[in-house]
Amino acid sequence: MGLMFEVAEGGFLDIDVKITGPDSKEIYKGERESSGKYTFAAHMDGIYTYCFSNQMSTMTPKVVMFTMEIASAGQETSPDGAQDGTADGKKLEEMVRELSTALTSVKHEQEYMEVRERVHRSINENTNSRVVLWAVFEALVLVSMTVGQIFYLKRFFEVRRVV
């Protein structure tokens, strides 16, 4: 069994993770993790619990993307229940299994890249808005300094007559 997760949005992009077995025994516990991949062998039948906790920052909602993977450990058999005895058949089966594993790996990697793209897009949009606000502030300061200098120079060169 396996679990891959990544915090896509919210706060400092961290979350607590806990995996519990059917006997209520804690298999894995991680605190303030932003992403992770954990694989373990299920030694007994039952319900395994994956828990994502956001108690350290209750005011900030989080978006968590995760993938669970369950692989069977038994040997594959033909539909009629007999073992495929030919060497070509076994070789073909092995190639299909390798392709399936590679395709699953590519799918997980693509999902991971989509999450990273979303996180980086959010960071870039936030940075862009800050840069725009700073540029507007600089423009306002520049205009106000220009107006101030004009009035100061007018007053400086103004001729005052004392009668």
Which tens digits make up the pLDDT trace of 96-134? 999 998 998 898 889 888 888 988 898 899 999 999 999
pLDDT at 115: 82
Angstrom distance (rounded) from CA 54 to CA 11: 10
What DSSP element (H or E) covers 141?
A: helix 87-156
Is 2 in a helix, a strand, or coil? strand
Is residue 148, in this structure, part of any structural domain at all?
no
Is residue 150, in this structure, part of any structural domain at all?
no
140-157, pLDDT tens digit by residue? 999 999 999 999 999 988
Is residue 122, in this structure, part of any structural domain at all?
yes
Q: Which domain holds residue 22?
A: 2-71+88-126
User: pTM value?
Assistant: 0.56
Is residue 112, in this structure, part of any structural domain at all?
yes
Q: Which residues contact 93 (CB under 8 A, 6 or more apart)?
A: 76, 84
Is residue 108, in this structure, part of any structural domain at all?
yes
Strands (E), the chain: 2-9, 15-20, 26-33, 35-39, 49-53, 63-69
- Count of domains for the chain: 1
